[in-house]
Structure 1
Amino acid sequence: EKRKESSPRSTSSLSPTLRVSNYTRGSYPIYFNMGKLGASRRPKCIDGSAPICPSDCCDITDSADVVIEKKAAQDKLESEGIEGRDESDIKELLVIGAGPHALSLILRLLEPKADLLSDKDRHIQGEFRSRMRPVSDVYRHVKKLSKGPSHTLKRKKKDMKCSADVEPLTLEEVHKSVLVVDKNGSWLSGWKQNFEALRIKNLRSLMNAHADPYDHRSLEFYAEMIGRGEELVTLPSLCQRDKSFRGPYQVPSTALFHDFHDLLVKGYGIDDIVQKGTVESIDPVQDDQQSDEPIFEVKVNFGLESNDRSTIVKTRRVVCAMGPMFHTGEAFWEATLRKELAGKHYPSDRILHPSEIVPYLKSRDEPQHHDAEPLRRLLIVGGGITSAQLALLAAKSPWCRGVKLIQRSKGIPRHFDVENKWMGPNRGQLLDEFWSLDMPERAGLLKSARLGGSIPPETLEELLRCQSQQHMNLEVQEEVQISDVCWNDDQFHVTLDDGSDVEGYDMIWLATGSENSLDFYSAFSRLREILPVDVVSGLPVLNQNLSWHCPPDREAVEPKWKDKARERLWCMGSLAGLELGPDALNLIGARHGAVRVAKNIRCDMANKPSPII
């Protein structure tokens, strides 16, 4: 103390010394090793052989009782097969999922001049070139991406004050205090695997739908700059040009879309912040240090050890951006067949549901299966784009000799999941009308607007063209359903409800419509016990900023820390459908949700009031 009082130097110039770094985003002070001086001042660890705890589990203010309690808690976690983490290692943000929605969010947290316009304002702006960013600025942005984060994130003095009044996160902050967990372990990995397995050449989204946070024209300019403009594919049958829709009329190729997003990941320097793991539970608890503050204890299985022990990751904020958990259930004829074959071999590996088809296709591409016996006949059930893509893929593959696609209704030709008007000038008005409805009415509109079973006209034409070619051995039958299935002689014998003859098939793929529901996410079970939420048609009722809404009957009884926990837990993607509208799951919905959540996280981490949505 005498040395500090007599020396004009700051404490940061002393060595060794106690140096405290007060992290501006609200994390705990960090205590650095002080050598012998620190050893004499700091209490002993519960481990008597260590004068200073090597893992910093004992805080400088901990009493002996607190140290013992922490050790006991750690032992309990280990007995349950859970690996505890250092208490000082509290993340500021944990994002679950590494798909387009999560990527859109992280990029908008980083970009100094991010497009944070509301979805209504963005579409109004898109109608007037004079309101858009200068073309030269967009070209300059795309060029910077190839030079890395030092150029992409560089800010001029005149740009230091953000138009949104909230500072972006620095790349250093993101690397230090943000964690992204995804079961596939890298950005868009699951997305890419599905596209590759189904051999999808072009996206079913317009070229202005992507994750770039700077400008909606970035992908278009990128294609032109690298000489791949022909990969912006014009849809020949998309001819609508009226007050409801005025384009664009191009979709990007799958290769172009993936290359552009790989560039975004590298350009912003976030290629290494995703860790492979599965989130098993989300448990909000009260912060020991600040009674009104919450901490989320997230149980994650990183799968790094042979026993696959789970780890508790502590974080102040959580964004749930995982993909949909579609569940189809069991068809009536499956239940009947299972009952008939009770005690005998049930060919469950021959009946594939949506989540099982892509893994099967991937296994077919593995070298050890190249010499496998081809399927004699394959039956695909479903009336949407996925069933059509699967039928075309199987018909063109050497491992399948014949394919039949059946659907219970006529194919509906439509370019996108939702009607064109949702991407036109009147989008703002449509959203206003959607938000004016109560929650059950919104849920009804979500179902009617998406109109399951639609197929892009180009895909439908290809399907009919292949059916007319005898060597393709593809048959499409509409307005029929399965009435009975028997298993005999190593084949399914299928009867349809149109009175046609029974036919034999080696496999049945069920690419039928399915519903997403909060109940299908096991990670939310513990969370919903502590922070209950209203559910309508399987979807959670969220606040306008997509945070976890408090049911009216609990507003007066919940403590302040729980209220704040709700404010710091957000949902994106299909789970946010009741707030974002019919295209919540799509790339347009990724931008819509990312803007709302990014603005709130920026404000919360800067200790500023949440913006008005």
Structure 2
Amino acid sequence: MTDQEYNPHTDDLLDVLIIGAGPCGLGVAARLKETTPSALFTDEEHHRYHWIRRHGRRVAIAGKKNKSKSKSKTKCAQSCTDKLPPSPPSSPPSSTESGASAEDDSGSGSEYNGRPKILTLDIVSDTWLGQWHRAFQKLEIAHLRSPMFFHVDPGDRDGMLAYTQETGREKELGEISGCVGKEISKHKQKKRLARQTKNRGVIGDVEVEIDERDRKDYFTPSTGLFADYCTSIVERYGLDCPGLVLKKEVVDIQYGEFENDDWGKGFTVKASDGSVFYARAVVLAIGPGRTKNYPFPLSDEEKAAACHTSEIGPLPSLRVQGLIKQRRETNVVVVGGGLTSAQIADLAVRKGVSKVWHLMRSDVKVKHFDISLNWMGKFKNYEKAVFWSADTDEERLQMIQTARNGGSITPHYLKILKQHILNRRVSIHPRTSIIEHKYCPESQTWHLTTNPPIPDLPPIDYIYFATGMKSDVNEFPLLQSMHRDYPIETKQGLPCITDDLMWQPDLPLFVTGRLAALRLGPGGGNLEGARMGAERIAWGLEEMLENNNKRRESETEIDCFCGLGNRYAKLEVD
């Protein structure tokens, strides 16, 4: 990669503008640079094509004479290899390898070697996954919840596993125990559920069989390993060029005819700092929503002793840290039943808080992943087929709600919380809600009344609301022009987009992530959904980008060299 900064001017026309530099945004950018995605090609075909692109110019072709012109077949094959566009290999090449220099993927100019001209705007950071990494560091999360095949690499489903083995970092993997192996009998399931339900409202996930041969996939990577793997993806596809990700807040998106007659129709995107960008297509990778779920609204005064986890600052808060240093008793309430609530409770105890009172609206639900195991194991294709073949979006919405079933924590964190309970540092209260609250500014403490009542609940020094965000596409200010000019139907805030994840047919505003759940399924908001969404969006973009014909010709040349398809197709292109 050259050091030249990618700096599109506001009067340039972009092919694709991505809003959001999180996993979904990175997944789309990487997929647009990948010509042989693993979703369409087998691993064997994928690695062969990469080998041809990397070594095609230097390959020895059978029957070729050194000092004479090749005959027709050899000439066709040599012509193909001479024109092969450089493509990133499945692993970063060394700087000494000829024909694979970083300059081949330079990010300057209107196109990246035939790939679309893209730019990414992010409200939080000017780097990929800036907000993602910041959240994991703030909560000191050691491992992801996702298995090894949940990632944003479009080139290889087993890419993270291969990267782990290549870098010798197997020790950074944590096994997801209890979800691989033989199916648990119905009798044992009933006994286990009865025992767990009796134990303070804890409900476990009904186990289904995941093939023993897939055990290698059911490990969770450390946050450091996942971050480094994502960095390798960014470098491989030339997405680390300075200026390719800009820290800007988008405030408006409009679609229509450009003033420049040569451009036709497209998007005008305005940022809060006054800058304007023009693009043929826009991808929304902006997360679930803006509205935070609170059990009760907070006044400005009350925000001094409470916060939503999306706005979490120092943990514990500065005042609580001061009390801990003075060796005074401290009490913190965590509201929520998801994994984040368990992580906050654990971190607060480890940081010295005397006791954490963990309040949940429902039972303690224990699941390995944020969706049910039947969407992960041997029956996942059946579940997805049923989802995609549903007659209405209402049916799909019901399937999403059933598969996700609210917040849940992993068996690993349940074990951690149980240890804190034994040490009297954590108290879990399922099916409990706050019905009355009073904040005292003088003492900066809360007096809470709950249903059912919690005996001897002391004054609370701080409240963390790990209650999630409301997914509602109607609440995004940047989409108000689109709602006005191109209204769209929604189901409980989720947009009814097309199967290509487009806002409307022939309107290339693409939506990915949790907001695309009605098309991607219950996993639309996780890493697998990011990868699936990127694939769908790439299919939709393929037909509209200007360089589509060039790419098609290049692919025909590769097929000719590889002996695929109709060998006379090259004559038609010529």
Shorter-chain TM band? 0.7 to 0.9
Cα distance in 2, alignment partners of residues 284 and 375 from structure 1 = 57
Cα distance in 2, alignment partners of residues 396 and 597 from structure 1 = 43
TM-score, length basis structure 2 = 0.73
532, 538, 542: which is aligned to 1:598? 538
1:144/1:152 contact within 8 Å kept: no
1:146/1:263 contact within 8 Å kept: no
Alignment of 1:48-59 (within 5 A): none
2:21/2:120 contact within 8 Å kept: yes
Corresponding residue number in structure 2 for 1:245: 210
Corresponding residue number in structure 1 for 2:249: 278
Cα distance in 1, alignment partners of residues 401 and 233 from structure 2 = 33
380, 391, 394: which is aligned to 1:427? 380
Deviations 1:465-490 (A, max 9, x none): 122124xx222222222222123343
Identity %: 28
Q: CA shift at 1:369, angstroms?
A: 12
Any idea what SS the aligned residue of 1:391 has? helix
467, 470, 480: which is aligned to 2:432? 480
What amino acid maps onto 1:407 in structure 2? M
> Does 2:277 align with 1:313?
yes
Q: Which has the larger radius of gyration?
A: 1
2:148/2:219 contact within 8 Å kept: yes
What amino acid maps onto 2:524 in structure 1? A
Any idea what SS the aligned residue of 2:396 has? helix
Gaps of 5+ in 2: 1-7, 53-87, 105-109, 184-207, 553-574
Any idea what SS the aligned residue of 2:161 has? helix
Deviates more, 1:424-433 or 1:221-230: 424-433
Corresponding residue number in structure 2 for 1:53: none
Deviations 1:387-411 (A, max 9, x none): 101000111014x333211113221
Cα distance in 2, alignment partners of residues 360 and 523 from structure 1 = 30
What amino acid maps onto 1:265 in structure 2? V
Cα distance in 1, alignment partners of residues 489 and 547 from structure 2 = 28
Alignment of 1:122-141 (within 5 A): 141=89
Corresponding residue number in structure 1 for 2:32: 109
What amino acid maps onto 1:198 in structure 2? L
114, 136, 144: which is aligned to 2:92? 144
Cα distance in 1, alignment partners of residues 262 and 50 from structure 2 = 51
Q: CA shift at 1:368, angstroms?
A: 12
144, 164, 167: which is aligned to 1:226? 167
What amino acid maps onto 2:174 in structure 1? V
Corresponding residue number in structure 2 for 1:447: 401
Q: CA shift at 1:363, angstroms?
A: 7.9
Cα distance in 1, alignment partners of residues 15 and 326 from structure 2 = 50
> Does 2:225 align with 1:267?
no
Change (3 A) 1:530 1:363: farther
> Does 2:125 align with 1:177?
no
Q: What's the Cα RMSD here? A: 3.6
TM-score, length basis structure 1 = 0.69
Query: How many residues are treated as equivalent by the alignment?
Result: 468
Corresponding residue number in structure 2 for 1:160: none
What amino acid maps onto 2:275 in structure 1? T
Cα distance in 2, alignment partners of residues 319 and 373 from structure 1 = 51
Cα distance in 1, alignment partners of residues 346 and 316 from structure 2 = 16
Cα distance in 1, alignment partners of residues 44 and 444 from structure 2 = 67
Corresponding residue number in structure 1 for 2:81: none
Corresponding residue number in structure 2 for 1:570: 510
Cα distance in 2, alignment partners of residues 233 and 503 from structure 1 = 38
Cα distance in 2, alignment partners of residues 241 and 146 from structure 1 = 44
Any idea what SS the aligned residue of 2:168 has? coil
Corresponding residue number in structure 2 for 1:403: 356
Deviations 1:221-279 (A, max 9, x none): 11111111122221223334568532332111111111111111122221131111111
Q: CA shift at 1:326, angstroms?
A: 5.0
Change (3 A) 1:362 1:496: closer
346, 358, 362: which is aligned to 2:301? 346
Q: CA shift at 1:206, angstroms?
A: 0.8
1:94/1:180 contact within 8 Å kept: yes
Deviations 1:50-89 (A, max 9, x none): xxxxxxxxxxxxxxxxxxxxxxxxxxxxxxxxxx9654x1
Deviations 1:340-380 (A, max 9, x none): xxxxx8322212123222x3449869x99998998821111
Cα distance in 2, alignment partners of residues 454 and 354 from structure 1 = 16
Corresponding residue number in structure 2 for 1:293: 264
What amino acid maps onto 2:343 in structure 1? Q
> Does 2:169 align with 1:200?
no
Any idea what SS the aligned residue of 2:210 has? coil
2:323/2:330 contact within 8 Å kept: no
What amino acid maps onto 1:494 in structure 2? L
Larger RCO (CA under 8 A, 6+ residues apart): 2
Cα distance in 2, alignment partners of residues 387 and 318 from structure 1 = 34
Change (3 A) 1:212 1:369: farther
Q: CA shift at 1:298, angstroms?
A: 0.3
Q: CA shift at 1:432, angstroms?
A: 2.0
Cα distance in 1, alignment partners of residues 101 and 145 from structure 2 = 29
Cα distance in 1, alignment partners of residues 13 and 473 from structure 2 = 27
Corresponding residue number in structure 2 for 1:159: none
Cα distance in 2, alignment partners of residues 392 and 369 from structure 1 = 18
Cα distance in 1, alignment partners of residues 546 and 380 from structure 2 = 32
Any idea what SS the aligned residue of 1:325 has? coil
Change (3 A) 1:137 1:462: farther
